[in-house]
Structure 1
């Protein structure tokens, strides 16, 4: 199904409209991710890692002409081995979305990042899916809600740290109609962000049980004040001894 979705993105006006916006989102979301290994799961015909500078990048997909053939719910990578994983609608077109996220959490290194996009069921795109049926791509996707995805991420200790909404125009198949509703793109983020056709979210794998040890500055300051007071008392004691001693007094015979 992902292969047909990849073709849909490249062929029609609506697909190209969506691809342009998602490409811009991924470009911004992965640009500052660092490490050594990055993987894109699905849509091998489109490079959503192109803006990233990680040296070793590959695309994994069970069907298409990818560099690695594998199921997203059974990744052939060692645990804690990847720095970045991107999921362009991968959860929408798999029968095991929760297991896919579990696998992503497993293979990510601590502080590694996952970036994903998904169709918003509470949008005009979701309404068309209900009206047109689920027989054609992309309407055959699962359209998982953003709150549900966030719940799964939180359960797996993948902490969201950014996101975006995109594709506010109604899902018309003709480019001229999409152009007529271009004004919705400019106003969408401000007036109706939750009505966007697609959402994007980025999350970081946090280390379980990690505790940051910091210096006890309060105790150190208290100790420093104690030393200063002690030093001051010693100096005053020496001064008093000097004052009490007459330099012209020869002392006891």
Structure 2
């Protein structure tokens, strides 16, 4: 197994005022989404500092990735059997993974049919995305990540056979580092949800793995129908029977009388 990817800079950023502002919104949304998802096994990939499965009631919940996790693994090669996990939560892994397509493919592989994935990501079409463009790629977390738009992520999920469900965006305040300014600008969250609902700094989306099956429908034959269908073939192969020929001759003779 290859060395798992680690994002220590991102973990440290979550402890800043802006990071706490983001995680507070995401925790509330994760709690609401995973509470009514049922099954046996729930997996959180990444962000081990936070328990985004705490509101879920599955008997076996665990974290995987790097750091303080139950299972240390590479995100692109999960050590779980196919169709063995009922729920996967993916907080801010795709933006910083070297191969996000493969991460999603692995998530699709390990999910059971009708299993669900809940993904949180940074929105490039927001004030957070604007700061990322102004900051440049040379800066640290989270600004150097490859942000995925919600529309692009939906396309990726659809190609893998997922049906997207609920989604929301939040954290409409500018990406400032000072806690006092964040408190002063919290009114933008209410205004943004009403006037610009897709423009939050982060988003969360739920998707369901759909597997289309095939059932072979056979015709329901009864004995009479089968007999009627086979009778012409029998007559064609063996010719008219003696009884039938005699009956036809008798009918012609009676007609002459």
Whether TM exceeds 0.5 here: the answer is: yes
1:109 maps to which of 94, 107, 112 = 112
Number of aligned residues: 210
The 3-state SS of whatever aligns with 2:72 is coil
Residues 189-240 of structure 1, C-alpha deviations (whole Å, 9 max, x = no match) = 21011211111100001122367x9xxxxxxxxxxxxxxxxxxxxxxxxxxx
SS state at 2:78 partner: coil
1:123-158, Cα deviation, whole Å (9 max, x unpaired): 110110111122211112111111110001101111
List alignment gaps of at least 5 residues for structure 2: 1-5, 218-257
1:26 to 23, 30, 36: 30
Give the TM-score, by structure 2 length. Answer: 0.79
Match of 1:92 in 2: 95
1:57 partner SS: strand
1:185 aligns to what SS in structure 2? Answer: helix
Structure 1 runs (4+) deviating above 6 angstroms are none
Aligned counterparts of 2:100 and 2:193: Cα–Cα separation in 1:
27
Give, in whole Å, the separation in 2 of the partners of 1:21 and 1:31. 16
In 1, Cα distance between equivalents of 2:89 and 2:174: 26
Residue of structure 1 equivalent to 2:231: none
Q: Deviations over 1:100-125 (max 9, x none)?
A: 11111110001100000111111110
**Which position in structure 2 is the counterpart of 1:123?**
126
Residue 6 of structure 1 deviates from its aligned partner by: 1.7
The runs of 5 or more residues in structure 1 that have no matched partner are 214-253
Q: How does 1:201-216 map to 2 (within 5 A)?
A: 201-209=205-213
C-alpha separation between the residues in 2 aligned to 1:141 and 1:22? 18
Q: Report the Cα distance in structure 1 between the residues aligned to 2:12 and 2:31, rounded to whole angstroms.
A: 21
CA distance in 2, matches of 1:115, 1:131: 29
Aligned pair in 2 of structure 1 residues 187, 145: CA closer, same or farther (>3 Å)?
Answer: same
Shift of 1:4: 2.0
| Partner of residue 7 from structure 1, selected from 5, 12, 17 | 12
Contact 2:9-2:140 within 8 A present in 1 as well: no
**Counterparts of 1:207 and 1:111 in 2: how far apart (Å)?**
7
The whole-number CA distance in structure 2 between the counterparts of 1:205 and 1:151 is: 14
Cα distance in 1 for residues equivalent to 2:214 and 2:126: 39
Task: Report the RMSD for the aligned CA atoms in angstroms.
Answer: 1.3
Identify the match of residue 51 of structure 2 among 30, 47, 50.
Answer: 47
The residue that corresponds to 2:151 in the other structure is 147
Structure 2 Cα separation of the partners of residues 71 and 30 of structure 1: 24
**CA distance in structure 1 between the aligned counterparts of 2:21 and 2:165, rounded to whole angstroms:** 26
